[in-house]
Amino acid sequence: MSDTEHTRDRAPLMGLLDTATEAYLGEFRRELEETGYADIRPTHGCVFRFVRDDGMRLTELAAHAGMTKQSVGEIVDDLVDHGYVERFPDPEDRRAKLIRLTQKGIEAQRVGFGLIREIETRWAERFGSERVTELRETLEEIVAELAPHAVPELAARAGREPAASGESGADLPLVGRAGLG
């Protein structure tokens, strides 16, 4: 098999995105540990990324995270054991459970989103604010067109509800599966 032009002269875009994501997550993980949250693992990010004040059903969380209910359930169990989340009856259907952050989880989420903002600010200073803004806008456009169900903020901004089930979100190109952001 011979080299193709894109691998010989230019790195594939997918590899660049993956490597940039890993660099971003590396900074995030180091800084999160320094804030005293060393027990939060990258896989926990799928919960912190999507769960908000009034809680969320496991099926909805799994759909947003692009993961199986079983996998997300194990992550939630781990976070319950660490005191970051709790399960409680859904007021609309007592047979169902909702997952919500505890006070400890709310604080960890606040710290995590703060770290994400700090990293984005540093990247803007390092690589240029306009370039980072353009990168964000381009990624938002791509995701809004190809996977709007995977980023609820984009669907909300466009005035539509994100799909909570039936779509896997497996093509999520942002940090959603591995981190808070």
- Chain centroid to CA 120: 15
The H or E element that residue 59 is part of is: helix 58-65
DSSP lists the bridge partners of residue 129 as: none
Q: Is residue 138 part of a domain?
A: yes
Q: Is residue 65 part of a domain?
A: yes
* Mean pLDDT of the 23-42 span: 95
Q: Is residue 127 part of a domain?
A: yes
Q: For position 3, what pLDDT does the model report? A: 55
* Mean pLDDT of the 32-37 span: 95
* Mean pLDDT of the 25-30 span: 95
What pLDDT digit, counting tens, does each position of 47-58 carry? 999 998 889 999
The overall pTM is greater than 0.85: no
CATH number of the domain residue 138 falls in: 1.10.10.10
Q: For position 168, what pLDDT does the model report? A: 37
Residue indicated by tokens 């005293």: 36
Is the confidence at residue 72, as pLDDT, over 80?
yes
The H or E element that residue 115 is part of is: helix 103-127
Per the structure, the count of domains in the chain is: 1
Q: Is residue 4 part of a domain?
A: no
* Mean pLDDT of the 162-172 span: 37
Please give the residue range of the domain that contains residue 64: 14-161+173-177
Q: Is residue 3 part of a domain?
A: no
Q: Is residue 6 part of a domain?
A: no
Q: What percent of the chain has pLDDT over 90?
A: 67
- Where residue 114 falls (left for φ over 0; alpha for ψ -120 to 50; beta otherwise) is alpha
Q: Is residue 167 part of a domain?
A: no
Euclidean distance between CA atoms 170 and 163, whole angstroms: 13
What pLDDT digit, counting tens, does each position of 124-150 carry? 999 999 999 999 999 999 998 888 877
Q: Is residue 81 part of a domain?
A: yes
Which of the residue ranges 87-96, 119-128, 132-141, 170-179 would you say has the lowest mean pLDDT? 170-179
